[in-house]
Structure 1
Amino acid sequence: MTAADLEQLIIARLVRDQGGTSQTWRRALGRIIVRDPRTHAHCNWDVRPAGTDAQHAAIETLLDEVRLQHSIVVAG
């Protein structure tokens, strides 16, 4: 899975679960940061969410689940 695919998956889940628009959630989510899997063997990606406290909480809750399913991604 690429970082772009992961971003689309996360945004789609946020829209489905929380409502709102994909544009709003894309801004709140921020970029997917891909790290070297040699130094981050368990999960090589991260985000720095922005937005409201409620958006931040929704993103963090979803990320816990998504990291279990998609722990390693490639840039792109």
Structure 2
Amino acid sequence: MTADKLIDLIVTRLVRDHGRSKHHWRKVVGPIRLYTRETHPHCNWAATPSGTFQENAAVETLLDDWRMRYPLLSG
């Protein structure tokens, strides 16, 4: 799984569950930062949402689920 593909999956789920546009949620989710597997062997990616309190909570909850499914991403 790549970071771009993961963002697409996250945004699609947010649009389905919470409405608004893909563009809106893509801005809220922001970029996915990748880390090396040597320094982060259990989960090598992170995102920092930048929306309202409710939007950030929705994104963080979803990110927790996706971290369990896809803990390691490729560049």
The ranges of structure 1 where at least 4 consecutive aligned residues each deviate by more than 6 angstroms after the TM superposition are none
What TM-score results when the alignment is normalised by the length of structure 2? Answer: 0.96
Which amino acid in 1 is paired with 2:21?
T
**Equivalence for 2:8:** 8
Q: Which protein, 1 or 2, shows the higher relative CO under an 8 Å CA cutoff with sep ≥ 6? A: 1
RMSD: 0.6
Percent identity between the two aligned chains? 44
The unaligned stretches of length 5 or more in structure 1 are: none
Number of equivalenced pairs: 75
SS of 1:6's equivalent in the other structure is: helix
Which amino acid in 2 is paired with 1:71?
P
**Equivalence for 1:32:** 32
SS of 1:65's equivalent in the other structure is: helix
